Structure 1
Amino acid sequence: MAKMNPYLNFNGKTEEAFNFYKSVFGGEFSAVHRMTEAPEASQLPENERNGIMHIALPIDGHTTLMASDILPSCGHVLNEGNNVQISLHPESREETERLFNGLSAGGNVEMPLEDTFWGAYFGSFKDKFGIQWMVNFEQGQK
């Protein structure tokens, strides 16, 4: 497996939090995507459209701190315990399926594995122990 990264969720404070983390860790953001980039962004309430869909701050050569804002209009609720996820970045589509199917067994799939508009093969779930996972294979790898 290529990488495993912490993924944080915030309720409208992702940008503020990540500017703070950047001031501590240094470096530059490797990605900043707003909700307005999503295909159906116009259906979001005005107060959610400028939220962060995805942000990434490389910490070192092996770890990237990532995050997004939740969308209350889509039923997302931020509670302690669901604001941190483990993001896996496998090296192949096959490894993605193996990890997703194995770790999600007995758990609750939030988003089944599917090809996404951002070019990845992605899925998310809560495992049978309550840990939240995301599996994201970048299609161009293999």
Structure 2
Amino acid sequence: MATINPYLNFNGNTEEAFNFYKSVFGGEFAVIQRFKDTPEADKVPDSEKEKIMHIALPIGNGNVLMATDALESMGHKTTLGTNFHLSISTNSEEETTKLFNALSAGGKVTVPLAQMFWGAFFGMCTDKFGIQWMVNFDTKTPQ
């Protein structure tokens, strides 16, 4: 069965926020990816290459707090109050497709389901009630 975790969007201060969350919850970051280390790095202004593309902090019993710097230079706009997604981690591409199609029905697909450079089958949508979702199957994890 799928797991659901919060995914936060920040206006360039993700690293500061996550160092704070780490001080609150403890633990170590499971992942830190910077924009300079992505295939899209050439599209990012030099002043933003060190910003966080993806960060993950395991908290509690199997929960993961995740985030990104939503860069305006890449067409993103962060609005406080709606600066989050619910991220679903699935067990298969089939489950990913089923949940993504059901959640996006009557809503809006913002990133179509596709194989991504980080090794996941992934898509993003906003459901018909305005809730933002990320659906992710980690294809690099052995089954």
Shift of residue 80, structure 1, vs aligned partner: 2.1
Secondary structure of the corresponding residue to residue 23 of structure 1: helix
Per-residue displacement from partner, 1:63-118 (whole Å, max 9, x unpaired)?
11000001111211111233111000010110000000000101110100000100
| TM alignment of 1:95-114, pairs within 5 A | 95-114=95-114
RMSD of the TM alignment (CA)?
Answer: 1.1
* TM-score for the superposition, normalised by structure 1: 0.96
Residue of structure 2 in register with 1:130 after alignment: 130
Residue of structure 2 in register with 1:47 after alignment: 47
- What letter matches 1:103 in structure 2? L
Residue of structure 1 in register with 2:27 after alignment: 27
Residue of structure 1 in register with 2:117 after alignment: 117
Secondary structure of the corresponding residue to residue 94 of structure 2: helix
How far apart, in 2, do the equivalents of 1:94 and 1:40 lie? 28
How far apart, in 1, do the equivalents of 2:63 and 2:123 lie? 20
* TM-score for the superposition, normalised by structure 2: 0.95
Secondary structure of the corresponding residue to residue 57 of structure 1: strand
- What letter matches 2:132 in structure 1? Q
Q: Which runs of 5+ in 1 are unaligned?
A: none
Shift of residue 44, structure 1, vs aligned partner: 1.0
